């Protein structure tokens, strides 16, 4: 009672010892592209009816993207807030840029989670106040003590205190 292994319909594919074709995995880039599905977020937009205003909003969004990228590279400069500003500006002006940003692999989840009220990751909740206090404290010292401009130092510390308060009141995002 010897059974012959099933025949391989495509002899070019590698087979298991039982003669079945091995499952083919697509290249990594194709797998990643299949994992993230493109979603049309145009329904969330309120596009301005004035062309000049749309151009201004679009320019503001591109500038905010630039500052957001710098914010992820430079300590002391926030990043995510500029992507939130860019999402708002693109939501007023350009479905193409808005959908690109909302579907972006890195920045899209941050914006979508924040807007959905899911909060921010724990590392951001720790890292952001530390950076705010460090760089604002240094700036306040340099301007208030070294340059003898205490009113500037007080305003820097007031803005820093508001920033820390705001970050600490945002909920922590739960892990999936």
Residue 166 has what pLDDT? 87
Per-residue pLDDT of 55-69, as tens digits, reads: 999 999 999 999 989
> How many Å apart are CA 41 and CA 172, to the nearest integer?
25
16 inside domain: no
- Tell me the residue range of the domain where 104 lies: 39-116
Torsion of the alpha carbons at 108, 111, 114 and 117, rounded to the nearest 10: -70
Whole-model pTM over 0.75: no
Residues 103 and 157 in one domain: no
Residue 7 has pLDDT above 60, yes or no: no
77 inside domain: yes
- Our count of domains for the chain comes to 2
Residues 124 and 169 in one domain: yes
Residues 86 and 63 in one domain: yes
12 inside domain: no
> How many Å apart are CA 129 and CA 113, to the nearest integer?
20
Cα distances (Å, whole numbers) of residue 116 to 95, 109, 112, 128, 162? 20, 10, 6, 21, 23
Whether 82 contacts 67, CB under 8 Å:
yes
Q: Residue 44 carries which DSSP code? A: G
Token pair for 42: 């145009």
Residues 51 and 87 in one domain: yes
- As a whole-number percent, the residues of the chain with pLDDT over 70 amount to 78
Residues 95 and 126 in one domain: no
Residues 111 and 123 in one domain: no
25 inside domain: no
Banded pLDDT at 23 (limits 50, 70, 90) = low
Residue 51 has what pLDDT? 92
């Amino acid at each position: 009672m010897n059974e012959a292994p099933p025949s391989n319909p495509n002899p070019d594919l590698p087979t298991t010892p039982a003669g079945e074709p091995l499952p083919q995995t697509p290249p990594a880039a194709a797998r990643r592209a299949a994992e993230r599905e493109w979603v049309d977020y145009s329904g969330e937009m309120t596009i301005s009816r004035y062309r000049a205003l749309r151009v201004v909003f679009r320019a503001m969004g591109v500038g905010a993207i630039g500052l957001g990228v710098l914010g992820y590279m430079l300590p002391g400069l926030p990043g995510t807030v500029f992507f939130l500003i860019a999402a708002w500006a693109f939501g007023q002006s350009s479905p193409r840029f808005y959908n690109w940003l909302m579907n972006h692999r890195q920045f899209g989840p941050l914006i979508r989670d924040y807007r959905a009220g899911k909060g921010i990751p724990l590392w951001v909740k720790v890292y952001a106040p530390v950076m705010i206090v460090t760089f604002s404290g240094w700036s306040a010292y340099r301007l208030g003590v070294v340059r003898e401009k205490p009113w500037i130092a007080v305003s820097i510390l007031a803005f820093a205190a508001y920033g820390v308060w705001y970050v600490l009141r945002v909920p922590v995002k739960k892990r999936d």
